[in-house]
Structure 1
Amino acid sequence: MTRLLQPVLAGLFSALVGFASTFAVVLAGLRAVGADQRQAASGLLALCLAMGLVSIWLGVRQRMPIALAWSTPGAALLVATGTVEGGFAAAVGAFLLCGLLITVSGLVPPLGRAIAAIPAPVASAMLAGVLFDLCLAPVHALVEVPLMAAPVVLTWAVLTRFARQWAVPAALAVAAVVIVLTAPVGGLAEADLRPTVELTTPAWSLSATVSLALPLFLVTMASQNVPGMAVLASFGYRPSLRSVLVGTGLASTAAAPLGGHAVNLAAITAALVAGPDADPDRGRRWIASVTTGVAYLLLGLGSGLATALVLLAPPVLVEAVAGLALLGALGAAIAGAVADPAGRSAAVVTLVVTASGLTVLGLGAAFWGLLAGCLFLLLDRRRPASAVVPGKDHPRSAVDAARPGGGRTDPAEPARVPPARSE
């Protein structure tokens, strides 16, 4: 009986960790780009439904533990970008375009390869720049609302030492208790806790396309889908990338009018359902990912409660919880950005420009950071031949970094797989 329940329990644990660890990031991102309470709750519900349905479909169809997640780096990008020209309707239009681009990447392999060919240091540095400001939120919260933030940060710190997987969910639980205890009388009782479906008609603007849709597409592909495939490969699974991209792209497109920003392959929770802890028998681990999908469908029913709690809290406290959830992703992104000496200078330029938060011509910092990094890398590559160090002046691309051998030709060098990003 225990053997039969093992993949089911692994799937339930994966869904719980994935949802509880980062839903605050998603809600903070949707609110930052202009969503009201109902639109944010609808977006969270849409993402849960999209992840659940596609996880079930891919798991049953390919008999592999293919876990999905919402784009947590993408949600952090929403926080960093803020309101775009045209408001939330324009943001929804950007979500829709991002979903279509992911779908096209699956249908047109050269496009997917072109995105994956973005130099790994630049892609990692852009992600680090996007995450940087949000990861400062716990420090700001300790200064602005110390009595509320201190128990949350302390819980996270202690459990990071003794039970790392539960650190963020436990911190979130403590934050929920603090919010309820300090909320106005009747605040939670008066909130609408039912699952909400709110349709938003997409609008299009050039500013939202360049500053939100394209960076969201790039960060989702480079920081989630490529590492997600690498994690699966490390456990011996090689699913059809075409099916994964088309499935997640169509799901993202369908969720966009309801407020969902992007769905992609999971990385950390992929390891939870694809590893031996899910089931010693590799052929049965797909049950874990299907269970994760079912659990996400059920967790979506709590989207109204989750949104109500977030809205009752001081914004800096919500951002603090989100920042704690993203510290691991920030560390991995910085490590990936500076690991290759050939691309280190370009990575630093990308990180600084992206983290600056500047907006020029209506275009956000993520776009300018990526552009600056690629231009600097191009200039660096055009140095005189005498200044080029063989084997060290050509940084690896994201797709090279995801290969089992890390894109290197020396058989004596151990394989390097990109660190899993937080979902």
Structure 2
Amino acid sequence: MRQYFSLSHISAGFVAILVGYTSAAAIVFQAALSAGATPAQVSSWLWAVGIAMGIMGIALSVYYKHPIMIAWSTPGAALLVTSLPGIAYSDAIGAFLFCSALITICGITGWFDKIMKLVPQSLATAMLAGVLLRFGLNVFPAFEAETLIVGAMVLTYIIGKWRQSPYAIPLTFAIGVILSATQGKIDMSGISLDLTVPVWQTPTFDLSVLIGIGLPLFIVTMASQNVPGIAVLRAHGYQTPASPLIGWTGAMGLVFAPFGGYAFNMAAITAALCMGEDVDKDPARRYLATVWVGVFYFLAGLFGATVAGFFAAFPSALVAAIAGLALLGTIANSLNAALSDAKGREAAILTFIITASGGTFLSVGTPFWGLLVGLAVYGLNQRFGRG
């Protein structure tokens, strides 16, 4: 058993989950609130994602002996924040099930690569950038509301990125928490260390919600999360079969969606923290770090109510700022990828603008319409040989 208790494995696993939670848990929290979830349902969301990621991470890492880390879909959560207001909670759960069913089918049939080829990467990243843009735009209003706190967070973020620190986001979050606490703007009185009771929601299925939310959630999760997640494994020399991994993330989504588990996928950035030489000189033993990631996620899931209360205690400006700053890199990379192909640039910018505009048409959200218009323009340009 001693091999499972290496300090390097444990610390790498802890850092990975710390980066994951400080970078994205606030967005998941906002997504649950946007769905009209009650406090108990918000806790259930965090229970579902933590338990599911923990179980899958441990099981797949031990089975394949590869550092496999499962994560929630951060871009998916961002999509939900902007798309779920006004949608019935049961319809949202139906959309989660629809998304997970599509992911499962892709995994079981081995259609993963074929499906993704139908959507040009430039359009998928343009849609993602449009979804995330509003988070970046929220940083300055947050600065106006809490100038000292958010200003210090932005400064910390800039210095961290300048120094190329992998801990820029956790440090930024820590500065925001410390300043908020010293100004008495964090109310921890309602937080207690209690086990979370999951809340079941019977799903309902509305076609416009399935098309407007479920389908974009599937595309964003596959294109911006699963594709890079598999690429990170390959880049580190792990030739784990992709289809079974994708299939399991979808299957767990089917199980946990009624409790708030909206979408699961392969981790990319945080997974890379567990794959370097500093984790273990022997690549064959690095999977032990992701086993510990699974353990920490499972524990975080058990105490989802505490995690939910923790984020609810923060000032809204802090939550908005950390969400926006954490996604700036993704927004920049997505725009760069979307516009780098000259032949698809016109279609990509239309996809981006329509998606970023927000709102709905025929009760269907703009991510779907942005992607649809982009695909039409892209197809016409390809057909007639125009850029």
TM-score interval, smaller chain: over 0.9
Say if 2:223 is the partner of 1:208: no
Pair 1:163–1:332, CA change in 2 (3 A): closer
Question: Which residue of structure 2 aligns with residue 44 of structure 1?
Answer: 46
Distance, in Å, in 2 between the alignment partners of 1:215 and 1:170 is: 32
Deviates more, 1:50-59 or 1:274-283: 274-283
Q: Is the 8 A contact 1:98 1:214 kept in 2?
A: yes
Q: 2:14 aligns with which of 12, 15, 18?
A: 12
The one-letter code sitting in structure 1 at the alignment partner of 2:35 is V
**CA-to-aligned-CA distance 1:261-308 (integer Å, 9 cap, x gap):** 111100111211122222111111111111111111122244323322
Q: 1:32 aligns with which of 31, 34, 58?
A: 34
CA-CA distance at 1:166 after TM superposition: 1.7
Q: Is the 8 A contact 2:129 2:334 kept in 1?
A: yes
Question: Which residue of structure 1 aligns with residue 344 of structure 2?
Answer: 343
Structure 1 alignment gaps of length 5 or more? 394-423
Question: Which residue of structure 1 aligns with residue 234 of structure 2?
Answer: 233
Deviates more, 1:298-307 or 1:24-33: 298-307
Q: Is the 8 A contact 1:60 1:286 kept in 2?
A: yes
Question: Which residue of structure 1 aligns with residue 78 of structure 2?
Answer: 76
Distance, in Å, in 1 between the alignment partners of 2:195 and 2:134 is: 31
**CA-to-aligned-CA distance 1:75-106 (integer Å, 9 cap, x gap):** 01011213253x22211111121111111111
Q: Is the 8 A contact 1:28 1:319 kept in 2?
A: no
Distance, in Å, in 2 between the alignment partners of 1:15 and 1:188 is: 22
Distance, in Å, in 2 between the alignment partners of 1:201 and 1:177 is: 40
Q: Is the 8 A contact 1:8 1:291 kept in 2?
A: yes
Q: Is the 8 A contact 2:51 2:302 kept in 1?
A: no
Q: Is the 8 A contact 2:31 2:80 kept in 1?
A: yes
The one-letter code sitting in structure 2 at the alignment partner of 1:161 is W
Question: Which residue of structure 1 aligns with residue 106 of structure 2?
Answer: 105
Alignment of 1:237-276 (within 5 A): 237-276=238-277
Deviates more, 1:256-265 or 1:302-311: 302-311
Distance, in Å, in 1 between the alignment partners of 2:339 and 2:264 is: 28
Distance, in Å, in 1 between the alignment partners of 2:107 and 2:126 is: 25
Question: Which residue of structure 2 aligns with residue 331 of structure 1?
Answer: 332
Q: Is the 8 A contact 1:27 1:307 kept in 2?
A: yes
Question: Which residue of structure 2 aligns with residue 188 of structure 1?
Answer: 188
Distance, in Å, in 2 between the alignment partners of 1:135 and 1:256 is: 28
**CA-to-aligned-CA distance 1:340-382 (integer Å, 9 cap, x gap):** 1111111111100100103101100110111011011011122
CA-CA distance at 1:156 after TM superposition: 2.4
| RMSD of aligned Cα (Å) | 2.2
Distance, in Å, in 2 between the alignment partners of 1:272 and 1:184 is: 33
Q: Is the 8 A contact 1:179 1:312 kept in 2?
A: no
Distance, in Å, in 2 between the alignment partners of 1:173 and 1:302 is: 21
**CA-to-aligned-CA distance 1:177-221 (integer Å, 9 cap, x gap):** 444455679x42134552432222212111210111111011000
Q: Is the 8 A contact 2:185 2:314 kept in 1?
A: no
Distance, in Å, in 2 between the alignment partners of 1:243 and 1:310 is: 34
Distance, in Å, in 2 between the alignment partners of 1:316 and 1:170 is: 17
Pair 1:152–1:302, CA change in 2 (3 A): farther
Question: Which residue of structure 2 aligns with residue 402 of structure 1?
Answer: none
Distance, in Å, in 1 between the alignment partners of 2:284 and 2:185 is: 52
Question: Which residue of structure 2 aligns with residue 406 of structure 1?
Answer: none
CA-CA distance at 1:163 after TM superposition: 5.8
Question: Which residue of structure 1 aligns with residue 320 of structure 2?
Answer: 319
Question: Which residue of structure 1 aligns with residue 67 of structure 2?
Answer: 65
Pair 1:194–1:154, CA change in 2 (3 A): farther
SS at match of 1:247: helix
Distance, in Å, in 2 between the alignment partners of 1:333 and 1:195 is: 38
Pair 1:116–1:244, CA change in 2 (3 A): farther
The one-letter code sitting in structure 1 at the alignment partner of 2:105 is V
Q: Is the 8 A contact 2:46 2:307 kept in 1?
A: no
The one-letter code sitting in structure 2 at the alignment partner of 1:287 is L
**CA-to-aligned-CA distance 1:233-270 (integer Å, 9 cap, x gap):** 11111212122012111111222111121111001112
Identity %: 39
CA-CA distance at 1:110 after TM superposition: 3.0
Pair 1:174–1:42, CA change in 2 (3 A): farther
Question: Which residue of structure 2 aligns with residue 397 of structure 1?
Answer: none
